[in-house]
Amino acid sequence: MLRYWVICVWIIFCSVKPSEPARPVFGVRVAFQANSQYYTFVCFLKNDRVLTHKRVVSQEEFIKIVSGYWPSLYNPEKINYFAERNLECGVIVDSITRKTSTYGACFDSLWKIRFSTYPFRNSAEEGWSNKLHKPAPAQEIFLYNNYGIKQIDADFFLDTNFWKICNDVVDPLWISNYRSLNE
């Protein structure tokens, strides 16, 4: 009987695969929000194959979390993920007032994927979309094939696609290619 229990315990312990530690997943959606913002930033934890602990944050909070300026559930080791991926994003601390400000070159251009002109009245800057308020059909196909974005209003650029789009929107060759996609 003891042998039976030992075998049962051995089978149970051998069949349980230790789960990998949760890793952070970051993302952004380019769509109008209720607060007149055109980005929604999100943080998740990925446990095995499941995204958990979703948190929607402002752009400033997002940059502080992802740059490691703030410790958080999504970045407890305070790793600067932007620096790891050679992106010009981060936090600046004024040496006199000690006030912080955030910057992100890629986030300044992300709206251009969706709009042909700046969506608010205080700028005449042009976007890269070939339609007024959403990408042209050829651009939508491109976004789906390269980033998994089926619907620009609903889908997030997540995980590796988030980092990929952040690098791409500051690349002049990518911008030229995206603008050339018409109908």
pLDDT tens per residue, range 134-172: 899 999 999 999 999 999 889 999 999 999 999 999 999
Distance CA 94, CA 89 (A): 16
pLDDT digits (tens, 9 = 90+) for 21-35: 788 999 999 987 766
Res 60: pLDDT: 93
Kindly give the residue spans of alpha helices, DSSP state H, lying in the chain.
2-15, 59-66, 81-84, 105-109, 137-147, 160-168, 172-180
**Global pTM?**
0.83
- pLDDT value at position 24? 92
The length of the chain in residues reads: 183
